[in-house]
Amino acid sequence: MNDQHMDGPDAAHTRPEGLADETVEALGKLSEALETVERARGRLYDLHQLIGHADLMLDDAVSLLRAAGHDKVADRVATDVLGRNVIAGRWTFQIVEDFDDGYYSTFKAVEKDARDELAQGRRHLFEAEMKERRRTHGRAGHEATP
C-alpha cells in the first residue's frame, strides 16, 4: 500500500469501484437536498415551539388585561386566539407529525435507498472526495480520518 492511500479516506467514504462521477455528483445533490429539508424541519420545530410558547403567554396576557379592567379585550384574546388552530383543524404538533410521517420520512427513505442501490450505502462520497482534493496531505489538522 502506498503512503497516499494509507493517508486517504476510510472505506465508508471511498467510492465503490466503477461508480461514475455523474452518479457521485447526483447522490451528492440528493444528499444536499435532504440536508436542506433537515434545516426546514428544524424551522418547523421552531414554529411548533414558538407558537406553543406564545399560546401559553396568552394566559398571562388575559389575566393582566382582566386585572387592568379590560374584560372585553381579554375575552376576545381568550376566545379568538388562545388555543386556536394554526391552520385548519391543526395545532403545530399535528403539522409536525404530518410532515414527519409523510414528506420527511419518504424523502429520507428515497435518499437512503438511492445510496444503498448505487453506492453500497456509502454517505457523503462527494464531500469525502472534495476533502481529499482540498486538504494538505501530511499537514496537522488536515488528516483524512480521526
For the stretch 39-93, pLDDT in tens is 999 999 999 999 999 999 999 999 999 999 999 999 999 999 999 999 999 999 9
Print the domain residue range for 26.
Answer: 20-134
Q: Does residue 5 lie in a domain region?
A: no
* Average pLDDT, rounded, for the chain: 94
pTM of this structure? 0.84
Q: Does residue 87 lie in a domain region?
A: yes
Q: What is d(CA 124, CA 136) in angstroms, rounded to the nearest whole number?
A: 20
Look at the block and give the residue holding cell 486517504.
8
Q: What is the mean pLDDT of residues 115-121?
A: 97
Q: Does residue 2 lie in a domain region?
A: no
> By the 8 A CB rule, do 27 and 136 touch?
no
Name the domain count of the chain. Answer: 1
Q: Does residue 31 lie in a domain region?
A: yes
Q: pLDDT-derived band of residue 6, with 50, 70 and 90 as boundaries?
A: low
